Amino acid sequence: MIETLHQSSWRAMGATVEAEFVIPAGSPLGDDLADAAQRLVEDLEARWSRFRPDSELCRLNRAGGTPVQVSQATLELIDAMAAGVVATGGAFDPTLLAPLVGLGYIAPWHPEMRTEMGAAEAVPRGGLRGTVIHRASSTVTLPANTSIDAGGIGKGRAADLAAELLLRLGATTAMVNLGGDLRIAGQPLPAGWPVNIAHPMHGKPIATLAIGSGGVATSGTTLRRWTATDGSGTGHAVHHLLDPATGRPIRGGRGAVIQATAVAGTAAWAEVFATQAVVRAGDCLDDLDRQGIGAMVVRDAGDVEHNKTWRAFTEGNRA
Amino acid sequence: MTTDARDVSTVQTPRHALVTKSLTAGLSTSMVLAIVAVMADSAQANPPATTEPAQVADTQPAPSLQGLGARLGPGEIIHLDIPALPEVAQPAGQPAAARPSASGSSTSTRKARSTTARKTAKRTTAPKKAPAPKPATSKQSG
């Protein structure tokens, strides 16, 4: 059987989406599969965007302690968030939306973004503490004054679901990359699916992985940055990755981790562990090893560290 | 979510036991308290099923979202209805991981709507296998 590599790309969730998949040559299904994947991602964006007032996530955040019926996709997203909070001991925390809004991040990010800080400094809410997920009724209840942001895990989860959809519709191997969070699923390619890791400053590859199957995600403090002006008119350079302990942007400086990449079974899990590695300043690489998670961190001076599991994905593929 | 021991018994596979040990070992006191708080709220909002095992079936998670049993204190069995840790990624040249499950709502969440512009390309090479893909790039996604 002759095979075709079908490649599609489009914009969604504030990022470029790439969907590539292997199907039999001559199959008329390529465009249909790509269309299905695109519709799925767009549907998830409509449900999970914090910038769309009618999204399920916004309804949930406005509910103020009362149950909200949500779709299965959203229920599973909240499930994944809860699992991430537990697995990282709270280093991954999807409830930091209020502090993020306090920094003025109230519209989709763009490179020239400047914001006004809120008058009141919002405090962290403690990582889904007190959240009720009721599967039988498909309802979620967030505690009053708690709001969540799908953020990176939403992109990862969407990449996972899109890749799995492509397989169910007939692709033998699929890769979906949603703005840098990517999932490779199905029959592994003989040499694996090559994945470059972009340098946090100049974007050129600093490592190349060969993935049989799984998810790769990168988190960091150097890309989504902007200037937030406080009440006195003083501008502060801030970024979107907040410390759950303080609700403030993770501090830089000597030894700080400015970027982390994780390799896990899914893109959603990879996003969780990449975030953990930045928040914990890289002090979790051994723990991740014990869980079979590959991880690499880049420190402010450009030093690169990785754990043992990471090496299994880079052998023979060094950039 | 329920504290019904019957549920716990359905998830006490060796894999889950391992995950449970891993998770509880890594939890800080505050996290354990958070979990207990979640469970306490859940128990109030969703009292244990009073009917038949079908109630359990109603709450049966999708294959990729298996329940997780956790024993957090003497005699205290708590069912955390959260996803178990997934299979780890597989490097190239190793046996394939399990095919992704049919979980999720991807088909049910689809709606008819026009899509945004999309670029498409197809590359085919003889005789059998698809050409090797160009590297994908993982970068800070925000």
For residue B134, the chain A residues in CB contact (below 8 A) are: 194
- DSSP character at residue A157: H
Is the pLDDT at A52 greater than 90? The verdict is yes
pLDDT in tens, A288-314: 999 999 999 999 999 999 999 999 999
Judged by CB atoms closer than 8 Å, whether chains meet at B104 and A220 is answered as: no
Q: Are B121 and A7 a contacting pair at CB < 8 A? A: yes
CB contact under 8 A, B89 and A133: no
Which residue in B91, B85, B90, B116 sits closest to B22, CA to CA? B85
* Interface predicted TM-score of the whole assembly (ipTM), two decimals: 0.89
In the prediction, which pLDDT does A15 show? Answer: 93
A133 contacts B1 by C-beta, under 8 angstroms: yes
Retrieve residue A295's tokens.
């991880």
Sheet holding A114-116, edge to edge: A114-116, A225-229, A235-239
Cα gap A206→B140, rounded to integer Å: 13
pLDDT for the residue A295: 98
Predicted pLDDT of residue A77: 95
State yes or no: pLDDT of A2 exceeds 90.
no
- Per-residue pLDDT at B55: 24
Would you place residue A227 in the very low, low, confident or very high pLDDT band (cuts 50, 70, 90)? Answer: confident
pLDDT score recorded for residue A121: 57
Higher-confidence residue: A87 or A240? A87
Q: Which pLDDT score, from 0 to 100, does residue A299 have?
A: 95
Give the mean model confidence (pLDDT) for residues A91-105.
86
Q: Tell me if B142 and A224 make a contact (CB, 8 A cut-off).
A: yes
Q: Which of A83, A126, A218 is opposite residue B139, by nearest beta carbon? A: A218
How far, rounded to the nearest angstrom, does the alpha carbon of residue B42 sit from its chain's CA centroid? 19
Those residues of chain B that have pLDDT short of 70 are 1-86, 94-116, 122-127, 142
pLDDT band per the 50, 70, 90 thresholds, residue A132 = confident
The distance of B22 to chain A (nearest Cα, Å) reads 8
Average pLDDT, chain A: 90
* Structure tokens belonging to residue A114: 């400047």
Percent of chain A exceeding pLDDT 70 equals: 97
The residue of chain B nearest to residue A205, with distances taken between CA atoms, is B137
pLDDT tens track for A107-118: 787 877 888 887
User: How far apart (Å, rounded) are the C-alpha atoms in residues B105 and A11?
Assistant: 22
| Residues B128, A211: Cα–Cα separation, whole Å | 21
Average pLDDT of the segment spanning A18-37? 92
Sign of CA dihedral A117, A88, A82, A160: positive
pLDDT digits (tens, 9 = 90+) for A148-194: 999 899 999 999 999 999 999 999 999 999 999 999 999 999 999 99
Residue range A219-238: average pLDDT? 84
Q: What does the pLDDT average to over A80-98?
A: 90
Residues ≥6 apart with Cβ < 8 Å to A197: A205, A206, A207, A208, A209, A216, A218, A261, A296, B137, B138, B139
Test A165 with B28 for CB contact under 8 angstroms. Answer: no
Integer Rg of chain A from CA: 19
- What pLDDT sits at residue A254? 84
- What number is the average pLDDT over the span A61-73? 93
Which tokens belong to A275? 């975030």
- What does chain B come to in residues? 142
- Smallest Cβ–Cβ distance between A30 and the set B84, B122, B132 belongs to B122
Q: What is the pLDDT of residue B129?
A: 75
